[in-house]
Structure 1
Amino acid sequence: MKMNIANDEIEIRNFIEADFNTFYQLTSDKESHQTAGLEYEPNENKSKNIFDKYLVLANSYAVALKSSHQMLGIIELNERGVSNGLDKTREVGFIIAPVFRHKGYATQALKLILNYGFKTLALTEIWASVKTNNAVPQTLLTKLGFRYIYQVSQDPLHLESQENMLKYYLLKNEDGTD
């Protein structure tokens, strides 16, 4: 699906070949992997193989400056399932490249994708998961109206390991457009 939503400063759009340099900066950054769970791949050729999948991957988009189309990060609005009403829910994921962090771009991107999800897709709820040691997106999600719901381990063999724990947040569509 062709994606192109924007405000005055940023746009959310499909990936283009010119995005690879920023994509590689993200995938080769171990901290981005540890805090956001993004694939870690320091090898440029292997990272390019991952990027080629993102070029065609449904529901994964580039966050970019509107003025220059420079990629700033990645945002996803992934399906959670198709049965029992899950078709009207999604899970949002996002990461901004380190050089562009703390400038409000994640907030803007989330507001755009949430509006798209609730208004255009008529979703009933949007979930987000965050590693427990990643406080910045937890604060951002709370500011945007998400509520903390529960915590779970990604690793069934190490249920108590904080490194593998995710906090799940939920935002419901409260305007009745479901």
Structure 2
Amino acid sequence: MQTLKGEHINLRALEPEDLDFLYQIENNEAFWEVSHTQTPFSKYILKQYLENAHLDIFEAKQLRLLIEEKSTKKQIGTIDLFDFNPSHKRAGIGILIHPEFQQNGFATEALSLLINYCFSILDVHQLFANITSDNSKSISLFTKHNFKKVGIKKDWILSEGKFKDEVLFQLIKD
């Protein structure tokens, strides 16, 4: 599918071979705040998740794609659609790039590919992202792609004993 192929990365469906990479990122406590996770995942649970990853987005209401560096085929992150609602033509987006691969433009390219896929293939009318107010990298990424700040959820995320605001960003298809 050409829609999910970029210049430096590809977005692809999850494969059984991705188990170790998923295990590594899902159990990295540094990512738990953005993924709303509070407990580790076992390889057994992640293997079951991979076995069901083939479910259609219209059935599962979510889609996780692996971000793969094109030249090396190395797994560098994930990009997710969540709360997919085909009746109202909207979905949320979350992105995670492994720290080793950050600051290389991969998130920018992945987000651009996914936006195009959502608007042209899934016929989504709007996309949204929930970002903590102190996550300047993500705020910059999404605003660079014309997401607009539309609201603030006060004291939404409890992290390390302190509450953080979460900012709602939205991109509406022209």
Q: TM-score scaled to structure 1, two decimals?
A: 0.77
CA gap of 1:16–1:82, structure 2 versus 1, over 3 A, is closer
> What residue in structure 1 maps to residue 60 of structure 2?
none
RMSD: 2.8
- On the 8 A contact 1:76/1:94 being kept in 2, the answer is yes
- On the 8 A contact 1:65/1:72 being kept in 2, the answer is yes
Structure 2: any 5+ residue segments left out of the alignment?
58-62
Q: Deviations over 1:57-109 (max 9, x none)?
A: 742111111233322111112344354xx1x2211111111211111111110
The code of the aligned residue for 1:26 comes to: I
CA gap of 1:147–1:17, structure 2 versus 1, over 3 A, is same
- On the 8 A contact 1:92/1:128 being kept in 2, the answer is yes
- On the 8 A contact 2:15/2:50 being kept in 1, the answer is no
Taking the TM superposition and a 5 Å limit, the aligned residue runs for 1:32-47 are 32-37=31-36, 40-41=39-40, 43-47=42-46
- On the 8 A contact 1:29/1:42 being kept in 2, the answer is no
The code of the aligned residue for 2:114 comes to: I
CA gap of 1:13–1:39, structure 2 versus 1, over 3 A, is farther
Q: TM-score scaled to structure 2, two decimals?
A: 0.79
Q: How many residues are paired up? A: 165
- On the 8 A contact 1:124/1:173 being kept in 2, the answer is yes
> What residue in structure 2 maps to residue 105 of structure 1?
106
Secondary structure at the counterpart of residue 121 of structure 1 = coil
CA gap of 1:82–1:47, structure 2 versus 1, over 3 A, is closer
CA gap of 1:128–1:19, structure 2 versus 1, over 3 A, is same
Alpha-carbon distance between aligned partners in 2 of 1:98 and 1:47, rounded to the nearest angstrom: 21
After the TM superposition, list the runs of 4 or more consecutive aligned residues in structure 1 that deviate by more than 6 angstroms: none
Whose strand fraction is larger, Structure 1's or Structure 2's? 2
The code of the aligned residue for 1:145 comes to: N
Q: Which moved more, 1:118-127 or 1:10-19?
A: 118-127
Q: Which moved more, 1:118-127 or 1:6-15?
A: 118-127
- On the 8 A contact 1:36/1:130 being kept in 2, the answer is no
- On the 8 A contact 2:151/2:167 being kept in 1, the answer is yes
- On the 8 A contact 1:27/1:47 being kept in 2, the answer is no
CA gap of 1:152–1:109, structure 2 versus 1, over 3 A, is same
Q: Deviations over 1:112-156 (max 9, x none)?
A: 000111122232211111122322101111111111111225869
> What residue in structure 1 maps to residue 22 of structure 2?
23
CA gap of 1:36–1:65, structure 2 versus 1, over 3 A, is same
Alpha-carbon distance between aligned partners in 2 of 1:32 and 1:115, rounded to the nearest angstrom: 26
Alpha-carbon distance between aligned partners in 1 of 2:38 and 2:2, rounded to the nearest angstrom: 23
